[in-house]
Amino acid sequence: MAEPVIQVRDLRKSYQDVEAVRGLDLTVESGEVFALLGPNGAGKTTTVEILEGYRQRTGGEAWVLGKDPANLDRATKARIGIVLQSSGVDPFLTVRETIDMYRGYYPHPRPVDEVVDVVGLSEKRDSRVNKLSGGQQRRLDVAIALAGDPELLFLDEPTTGFDPSARRHAWQVVRNLIALGKTVFLTTHYMDEAQELAKRVAVIANGVIVAEGPPATIGGRDTAQTVIRFRVDDREGLPSLGHVPLGDGTLELRTEHPTKVLHELTAWALDRGSDLEGLEVRRPTLEDVYLQLTGGEAGAE
C-alpha cells in the first residue's frame, strides 16, 4: 500500500494561552477526497495552514508527501496546490495571464487552456481579473492552484459565501479534480458539501476530531435509530412498538430495525383497510450527526 499523502499525529497548536488544535490524528490516502468538517473557530484553518506550511505546529508530528510541512523544500511545494480561504490576485491581469504567471513557478505545469476548462472559465479567459464575479474569482483560485499540476490540493472553505448555483458550479470543479486523480484535502462548514464531495469526513470541534469515516456511516449514522412518524384516527389493535404521541396527534417511534417495524405497521394498517397518514421514515442526516457531535453549533455562517 502506498504511503499516505498526509499523516498527522497528536497535532497541537497554541496561540498564547489558547489551544486551537488539541491533539489531532489524521490520515489522507492518495487519490481520495478528504473533508475536514467543523463549525467556525473549530481549528480547521489552523490545521490546514499547518499542513500547507504557513503555520508552525506547537506539538505532535505531521507529514505531507512524506515531508515535514514546517519545512517544505521547493520540490515538494511544487507538488502541492493551495486554495486559501481568502487570497487576492493582481487585479489588472487577465485570467490567462494570471494562470500563466503562476504556471511559470512550477517545473511541469499544465497548459493554461486545459486549466481554464477544468474550472469552467473558458469564456472569461481574456477578461481582467477585477471584472470577474466572486464565484469566478474563486474558480480562478482553483485554476491557479492547479496550474502547476499538483498531486495534492488544499481547498480551504472553497464555497463559503456562495449562492446555491455558484456552489454547484464549484462542486463540479472539485469533481473534475477527482477525475484528474488528485488528492484533495477540503475544509468546509457545510454538511452537504462534505457529503457531496468527500469519500471520508472528519468532524472537528474545539480543536479535536470527534468523528471520522465515510459520510454514509460517520458518527454511527448507519446504525443509529430510524425515526418513524405517522397519524391514525383509531389506535385499536396497533401493535406495541414503543411509539409515543407527539402533541398534534402524530405518533413517533424510534427503532434500530426499521424494516421489521414498518412491516408490522403497514400490515396492521392494510388489515384494517386504513391509512397511515403523513407516514415519514427518517434516517439521521449528516446534519443531525454533526449537530450532535459539535454541540449544536452547526450551520452558523
Partner 1 sequence: MSDVTLALRQVRFTNKEFWRNPGSAFFTFAFPLMFLVIFTALLGSGTVEVAPGVFVKQSTYYVAAMSAFAVITAAYTNIAIGVVFQRDAGILKRTKGTPLPGWAYLGGRVLHVLIIAVLLVLITSAFGVVFYGADVPTGTLLLKFAAVVVVGSMSFAALGLATTAIVPNADAAPPIVNAIILPLLFLSGIFIPFGVETPEWIKTVARIFPVKHFADAMRAGFYGPPRFEFLWRDVLVVAIWGLAGIILAAKFFTWEPRR
Q: Interface with partner 1 by CB under 8 A: which residues?
A: 52-54, 74-75, 77-78, 80, 82, 84, 86-93, 97, 101-102, 104-107, 128, 144, 148
Shortest Å distance, C-beta 79 to partner 1: 9
Burial of residue 184 (number of CB atoms within 10 Å: 0-12, 13-18, 19+): buried
Q: Output 79 or 243, the one with its CB closest to partner 1.
A: 79
Q: Which is nearer to partner 1, 75 or 270 (CB)?
A: 75
- How far apart are the C-alpha atoms of 66 and 76, rounded to whole Å? 9
Contacts of 149 (CB under 8 A, 6+ apart): 106, 108, 109, 110
Least separation in angstroms between CB 142 and partner 1:
12
User: Least distance to partner 1 from the beta carbon of 101, Å?
Assistant: 5
Q: List residues bridging with 230 in a β-sheet.
A: 251
| Amino acid occupying residue 97 | E
Instruction: Pick the closer one to partner 1 by CB: 88 or 164.
Output: 88
| Minimum separation from the CB atom of position 280 to partner 1 (A) | 47
- The beta strand positions in 132-268, using DSSP E, are 152-156, 183-188, 200-205, 208-213, 226-231, 244-245, 251-255
How many CB atoms within 10 Å of residue 65? 20
Nearer to partner 1, 91 or 296 (CB): 91
CB of 31 to partner 1, least distance (A): 22
Q: Sign of the CA dihedral 139, 140, 141, 144?
A: positive
> What residues are paired with 280 via a beta bridge?
229
Closer residue to partner 1 in complex, CB, 80/201: 80
Q: Are strands 152-156 and 80-83 parallel, antiparallel or unpaired?
A: parallel
Q: Which is nearer to partner 1, 94 or 217 (CB)?
A: 94
Shorter beta-carbon distance to partner 1: residue 64 or 251: 64
Residue 162 is placed in which grid cell? 456562495
Cell of 161: 459565501
Closest distance of CB 2 from partner 1, Å: 23
Q: Is the CB of 84 or the CB of 166 nearer to partner 1? A: 84
Query: What is the chain's length?
Result: 301
Name the minimum Å distance from CB 49 to partner 1: 10
The answer to whether 171 touches 197, Cβ cutoff 8 Å, is yes
Decide: 275 and 246 in contact? Cβ < 8 Å. Answer: no
Owner of C-alpha cell 397511515: 276
Q: Name the minimum Å distance from CB 54 to partner 1.
A: 7
